[in-house]
Structure 1
Amino acid sequence: MTMFEDRERAAEAKFVRDDEMAFRITARRNRLLGQWAAERMGLTPAETDAYAKAVVQADFEESGDEDVIRKVVGDLTAAGVDTDEPTVRRALEERHVEARRQLLEVR
């Protein structure tokens, strides 16, 4: 019976690690997206840091990426930056790849 319990514990631990890694990748991705958008808006380094944190926080409004995309598109538009939703979605996907790469290199 112990062998099955050990397997079950190992599977649960792997699930927790995978879930934590997915959360960290998403948070890093959102921070990178915030930095990307801040650069287009011409923000100062301090403003960029604050904005990147605000983008990360925006992801807690609802599940999925729509809250983040809506925020970034709205902020870029309000700042007079010529952009659209597909451009931001593409940037989000690119930042996801970069965030994953960064976190997996750290391991």
Structure 2
Amino acid sequence: MTSLDDRRRALEETYILDFERSLKVRARRNRLLAEWVAAEIGRNDVDAYVNEVMTIAIASPEDTGLIQKIRADFSAAGRVADEALIREKMHELMYTAAEALESEQARQGY
């Protein structure tokens, strides 16, 4: 029974680590996305905009609320950004964020 308990604990630890990693990658992606949007719409207060986006992202675990905010911000700036463009950028930045986290963890010896 002990080996079964050890296996269960190991699986739980793996699940927790994977979940934490996905949260970190998503948070990095959202930060990169906010910085990209701020540059695209000409926001000078990038840090404030990043905080706005992060607040929306936390409140809305799915990306729908985030996409709505970004589209509204583009529109307010007189720019057009359809959902497909935003999702494509989110996808691209998800990989960028994952690679950055992996690099950082490798440097730290994880």
Q: What TM-score do the two structures reach when normalised by structure 1?
A: 0.91
Q: Quote the Cα distance in structure 2 between the aligned partners of 1:19 and 1:33.
A: 21
Counterpart of 1:88 in structure 2 is 86
The structural deviation recorded for 1:64 is 1.2
User: Following superposition of structure 1 onto structure 2, how do residues 5-16 of structure 1 map, counting pairs within 5 Å?
Assistant: 5-16=5-16
User: Following superposition of structure 1 onto structure 2, how do residues 1-107 of structure 1 map, counting pairs within 5 Å?
Assistant: 1-44=1-44, 47-107=45-105
Q: Quote the Cα distance in structure 1 between the aligned partners of 2:71 and 2:89.
A: 11
Q: Quote the Cα distance in structure 2 between the aligned partners of 1:19 and 1:4.
A: 22
Q: What TM-score do the two structures reach when normalised by structure 2?
A: 0.89
What is the one-letter code of the residue matched to 1:39? A
Q: Quote the Cα distance in structure 2 between the aligned partners of 1:21 and 1:42.
A: 31
What stretches of structure 1 of length at least 5 have no aligned partner?
none
Q: Quote the Cα distance in structure 1 between the aligned partners of 2:2 and 2:78.
A: 63
What is the one-letter code of the residue matched to 2:81? T
What is the one-letter code of the residue matched to 1:23? L
What stretches of structure 2 of length at least 5 have no aligned partner?
106-110
**Residue aligned with 1:35, SS:** helix
Q: Percent identity?
A: 34
Q: Quote the Cα distance in structure 1 between the aligned partners of 2:62 and 2:55.
A: 13
The structural deviation recorded for 1:94 is 0.9
